[in-house]
């Protein structure tokens, strides 16, 4: 239970802090740097990424052999939180979803050939990637056993038919990880495949309009009408789709928490000059006890989230799937993100509701946190099941 960061991680975080302050916050502050979907414009991002690479700060989360800086999950937690002080931070350092989760899983399970063909262009930042799992009714959403998209084996290839939606980044991605049904077996019925955007047999039906700002490539609805995937593009073996999903989502859910904590901290940072300066009813807002109560509660929520995230990170580093720990962090941090942004908006009055600060951007973005990578209710179900199965051992320190 030693929370001291390693010298390498601490040094990296210091450099990231300075880089965000000097290079990214000024970019974020200029409306000219945004694209039509309220995210950083791609030419602006390219320039920022070149500076990140030149500063030696690119891709801390992957092993050195795969082009990263070799941080463990604990180191990643500290680094991603620091990057996410800016809404453009994670994507600038190549730590944003969905590339981050996709790179992590291929790095863990990909063959050397799959890494060379699929991973390297993504780690270099030359192409983007998507993770294709969720389906509209009656297909798989929270419950993947409902999945309807089928990949049928024909000789040395699989032929895919089906329907997916809310696939982040699909409109800009070149490399895709697809989860599809290869049998009706309850545990081993799903498989994971790699495919390239230029392969025929699939198309984007539409880019689904959403409440919040959109990552590059949006959130898309896809149709598969005979996409052929060579068997060598299976990840692990046929029937390992659920395992791949667990490996990907375990870490990916936690990296969401790491970034959301950075954003929540920023929200409280944004409101502080205002409440220190604004006088109402004889004193500054910051001097009102009820204001202090709001600020203190949000700050405490962030610290609880950091502790849960670090605990889950340490467990993942020990080789554990950390299902309970990741679920707890995901639910708590998603709620805290909303609370911190909402508090900052409230304390800034009308200005908080304006587009003069990034708070309203964050507020709209934050609503997805309770839905993506498992709705909060599903994580609660996981926790309740674990409690009922483990009894007192649920709280074991081991
Ligand atoms: C912005 C955004 C980006 C996304 N990106 C991707 C992506 O890149 N790739 C991808 O494959 N998917 C993606 N998704 C889809 C996301 O993972 C799903 O929305 C999520 O898993 C929930 O599935 P669903 O929408 O089908 O909801 P449903 O399964 O229909 O559930 C609806 C609601 O029912 C409730 N519920 C469900 N199960 C239970 C339960 N056991 N107990 C109690 N209540 C329950 C919850 O409140 C839940 O929100 C994205 C979604 C969003 C909003």
For residue 159, the CA-to-ligand 1 centroid distance in Å is 26
Chain CA centroid to CA 173, Å: 16
Mutate to test the pocket of ligand 1, among 39, 141, 193 (most ligand atoms within 8 A of CB): 141
Q: Is 18 in the pocket of ligand 1 (CB under 6 A)?
A: no
Nearest C-alpha to atom 39 of ligand 1 is from which residue? 378
State the span(s) of the chain assigned CATH 1.20.140.10.
Answer: 242-395
Determine the pLDDT at residue 351. Answer: 98
Q: Is 368 in the pocket of ligand 1 (CB under 6 A)?
A: yes
User: What tens digit of pLDDT does each residue of 57-103 get?
Assistant: 999 999 999 999 999 999 999 999 999 999 999 999 999 999 999 99
Determine the pLDDT at residue 398. Answer: 76
State the span(s) of the chain assigned CATH 2.40.110.10.
Answer: 129-235
User: What tens digit of pLDDT does each residue of 206-239 get?
Assistant: 999 999 999 999 999 999 999 999 999 999 999 9
Q: Which atom of ligand 1 is nearest to the CA of 98?
A: 8
User: What tens digit of pLDDT does each residue of 285-314 get?
Assistant: 999 999 999 999 999 999 999 999 999 999
Top-level CATH class of 129-235? mainly beta
What are the residues whose beta carbons fall under 8 Å from the beta carbon of 335, sequence distance 6 or more? 301, 370, 376
State the span(s) of the chain assigned CATH 1.10.540.10.
Answer: 7-123
171: three-class secondary structure by DSSP: coil
Distance CA(127)–CA(305), nearest Å, equals 33
**Fold annotation for 7-123:** Butyryl-Coa Dehydrogenase, subunit A; domain 1 (1.10.540)
Q: Running DSSP on this structure, what letter comes out for residue 147?
A: -
Top-level CATH class of 242-395? mainly alpha
Regions of the chain where pLDDT drops below 50: none
Determine the pLDDT at residue 11. Answer: 98
b or e along 94-107 (b: 16 or more beta carbons within 10 Å of the residue's beta carbon)?
A: bbbbbbbbbbbbbb
Determine the pLDDT at residue 397. Answer: 86
């Amino acid at each position: 239970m030693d929370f001291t960061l390693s010298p390498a991680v601490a040094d990296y975080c210091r450099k990231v802090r300075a880089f965000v302050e000097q290079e990214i916050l000024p970019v974020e502050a200029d409306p000219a740097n945004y694209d039509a979907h309220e995210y950083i414009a791609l030419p602006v991002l390219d320039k920022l990424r070149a500076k990140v690479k030149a500063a030696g700060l690119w891709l801390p989360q992957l092993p050195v052999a795969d082009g990263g800086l070799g941080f463990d999950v604990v180191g990643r937690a500290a680094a991603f939180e620091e990057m996410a002080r800016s809404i453009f931070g994670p994507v600038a350092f190549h730590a944003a979803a969905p590339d981050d989760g996709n790179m992590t899983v291929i790095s863990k399970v990909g063959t050397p050939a799959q890494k060379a063909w699929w991973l390297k262009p993504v780690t270099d930042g030359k192409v983007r990637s998507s993770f294709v799992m969720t389906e509209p009714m009656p297909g798989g959403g929270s419950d993947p056993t409902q999945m309807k998209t089928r990949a049928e084996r024909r000789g040395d290839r699989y032929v895919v038919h089906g329907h997916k939606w809310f696939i982040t980044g699909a409109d800009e991605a070149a490399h895709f990880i697809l989860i599809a049904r290869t049998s009706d077996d309850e545990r081993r019925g799903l498989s994971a495949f790699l495919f390239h955007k230029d392969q025929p047999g699939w198309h984007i039906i539409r880019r689904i309009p959403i409440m919040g700002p959109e990552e590059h490539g949006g959130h898309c609805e896809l149709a598969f009408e005979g996409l052929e995937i060579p068997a060598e593009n299976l990840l692990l073996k046929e029937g390992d789709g659920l395992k791949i999903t667990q490996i990907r989502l375990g870490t990916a859910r936690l990296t969401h928490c790491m970034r959301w904590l950075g954003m929540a901290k920023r929200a409280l940072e944004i409101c502080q000059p205002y409440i220190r300066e604004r006088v109402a009813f004889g004193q500054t807002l910051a001097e009102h006890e009820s204001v202090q109560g709001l600020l203190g509660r949000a700050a405490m929520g962030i610290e609880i989230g950091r502790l849960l995230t670090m605990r889950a990170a340490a467990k993942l580093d020990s080789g554990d799937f950390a299902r309970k720990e990741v679920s707890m962090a995901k639910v708590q941090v998603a709620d805290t993100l909303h609370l911190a942004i909402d508090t900052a908006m409230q304390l800034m009055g009308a200005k908080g509701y304006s587009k003069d600060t990034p708070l309203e951007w964050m507020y709209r973005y934050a609503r997805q946190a309770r839905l993506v990578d498992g709705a909060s209710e599903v994580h609660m179900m996981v926790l309740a099941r674990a409690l009922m199965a483990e009894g007192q051992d649920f709280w074991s320190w081991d």
